[in-house]
Structure 1
Amino acid sequence: MLLLDQLKRQLHFEDTPKRIISLVPSQTELLVDLGLEASIVGVTKFCVHPKHLRKSKAIVGGTKQIKVEKIKALQPDIILCNKEENSKEIIEELEFITPVHISDIYNLDDCYELINMYGALFRVEDKASALIENIQNEHADFQLKIKDKKHLKVAYFIWKNPWMIAASETFIGCMLEEACFQNVFENAKRYPEIDLNNERLKQADMIFLSSEPYPFKERHISDLKLQFPEKTIKIVDGELFSWYGSRLLKSFDYFESLYT
């Protein structure tokens, strides 16, 4: 069996991979929702959905640091990685153990492509197709519900000390657009550091403080309110803006709630 990953790298398999290690939390959850939990042998300490998984599967490190010998001992047939989450050095080290499938996600079409890839790779095509259809239906319903809403200008913070925001060429940036928000930093790229006196920030109607990777709390809202008393400032669920895969089923209802 010959398949491509999202970097167009070829992977060869004599049979369907049965022992899976996932180094990306959103992809781990996707595997479970595709009915593949029994095939998972290793996950990261950040694979928090479903909650019981870290008790029943081997923990092989994080997304940036891995336990190579533990991974070898698990004898995986495949390791699932992501271009942004896992470093080139990690991936090169893992390729000496077993084939590595790399995802590369910037938009919803990339998400659908990855789900279809997993469907073909693990022979769960019907479940993958059904999941994509359900996500697309949720997306379409959301668009109908908010089609007459004003497109509010937002700034989306992912970090503090230094302050960092999500701009273009990111999945978060894509999801802000899908949620019909206008990212005031859409002309910047990736995750730039900014100063709170930034002119673009002053244009925002709302400031979003993501629940991850930096754990923003209510006290941070109070601090920012001193400088931006006229703006709406909210802590938002970072998973629903940045996790691709089956968590997208919950994203669009959540986006609707942000308008109330």
Structure 2
Amino acid sequence: MTEKTLTDQIGTSHTFKSTPKRIVSLVPSLTELLFDLGLEEQIVGITKFCVHPFHFKSTKKIIGGTKNVHVEKIRLLQPDIIIANKEENTLEIVAQLAEICPVWVTNIITLEDNYQMITDFGQLFNKRTEAQKWNDKIQFVQRDFQQFIQDQSSFKVAYFIWANPYMVAGGDTFINEMLRLNKFQNIYENNPNVTGRYPEVEIKKIRLQGDPDLVLLSSEPFPFKDEHAFELGRFTHHAKTFFVDGEMFSWYGSRLVKAFTYFKKLRDKLA
């Protein structure tokens, strides 16, 4: 490959003299995508939260979590590129790791961002055909789901990601994009009573702040239990509470093929 310069999703330009051959991934959903693009052998380091594919736990070097990476462990792996994400990894981590090798930062809020990221990976790793195949697969299931969802009811929802304190997904998040696609109107999307992308909320005020039809409790990053569902239920007017698969709402990359199938099944449960 001749030298090429590519720009990541936060606008940083990176120049590569050859195709990166040693990859460290700091993003669980992107570890899965890299595997699906046929890059298993090139992946040398992952986080402890990179749970798909399962066998990576025993075959790849664990370099810490998404927010607390072991810089020296990464340095010893001699990576050509580190894959990060604006939301998952801090600016400080990215700056530190940039002294080792280029850090490619993704930033995915919309489905368009996701398609762009997969295309970028195709160029970066010389996997254009594989990247196009995955984009085609996702577009196919997305179109199918959009037809399916047309006839479905719309619901007001609150999507909880944490307890003690209670936190929800707000606007300008990938989760919010997934909620919109499901015809779920997020009561915290443009709510003047909260600030931030993942605001802390007072559950006592949930009726005043939008009175949702559905309360969705995500399976990650917090392990919600029945007691949380009961506690939240006390403060809603008529909302039904559902435990939902957080990976399907918050993981981007190739996971979306499974997500749209999951969303159809979720509608059956709601019915």
TM-score category by the smaller chain?
over 0.9
Aligned residue runs from structure 1 range 77-156, under 5 A = 77-156=80-159
1:218: which partner in 2?
226
1:5: which partner in 2?
8
Q: Once the two structures are superposed, what CA deviation does each residue of 1:140-177 show, in whole Å capped at 9, x if it has no partner?
A: 11111121111111110111111111111111111100
Match of 2:203 among 184, 196, 208: 196
Match of 1:68 among 52, 68, 71: 71
How many angstroms apart in 2 are the aligned matches of 1:224 and 1:257?
A: 24
Change (3 A) 1:200 1:238: farther
2:26: which partner in 1?
23
Change (3 A) 1:139 1:200: farther
How many angstroms apart in 1 are the aligned matches of 2:211 and 2:245?
A: 23
1:56: which partner in 2?
59
Tell me if structure 1 keeps the 8 A contact 2:20–2:81.
yes
Change (3 A) 1:202 1:110: closer
Q: Does 1:239 align with 2:247?
A: yes
* AA partner of residue 238 (structure 2): E
Tell me if structure 2 keeps the 8 A contact 1:185–1:200.
no
Tell me if structure 2 keeps the 8 A contact 1:135–1:249.
yes
Q: Once the two structures are superposed, what CA deviation does each residue of 1:155-206 show, in whole Å capped at 9, x if it has no partner?
A: 1011111111111111111110011211111213411111112245552110
Q: Which runs of 5+ in 2 are unaligned?
A: none
Q: Does 1:173 align with 2:166?
A: no
Tell me if structure 2 keeps the 8 A contact 1:76–1:98.
yes
* AA partner of residue 181 (structure 1): F
**Secondary structure at 1:158 match in 2:** strand
* AA partner of residue 96 (structure 1): E
How many angstroms apart in 2 are the aligned matches of 1:26 and 1:227?
A: 34
* AA partner of residue 195 (structure 1): E
* AA partner of residue 220 (structure 2): E
Q: Which runs of 5+ in 1 are unaligned?
A: none
Tell me if structure 2 keeps the 8 A contact 1:154–1:184.
yes
* AA partner of residue 266 (structure 2): L
1:42: which partner in 2?
45
Tell me if structure 1 keeps the 8 A contact 2:79–2:101.
yes
Match of 1:250 among 258, 261, 264: 258
Q: Once the two structures are superposed, what CA deviation does each residue of 1:72-118 show, in whole Å capped at 9, x if it has no partner?
A: 11100000001111111111110110011000111100000000000
**Secondary structure at 1:156 match in 2:** strand
How many angstroms apart in 1 are the aligned matches of 2:93 and 2:85?
A: 11
- What number of residue pairs does the alignment pair up? 260
**Secondary structure at 2:68 match in 1:** coil
TM-score between both structures, scaled by the size of structure 2: 0.93
Tell me if structure 2 keeps the 8 A contact 1:184–1:200.
no
Tell me if structure 2 keeps the 8 A contact 1:218–1:235.
no
Change (3 A) 1:173 1:257: same
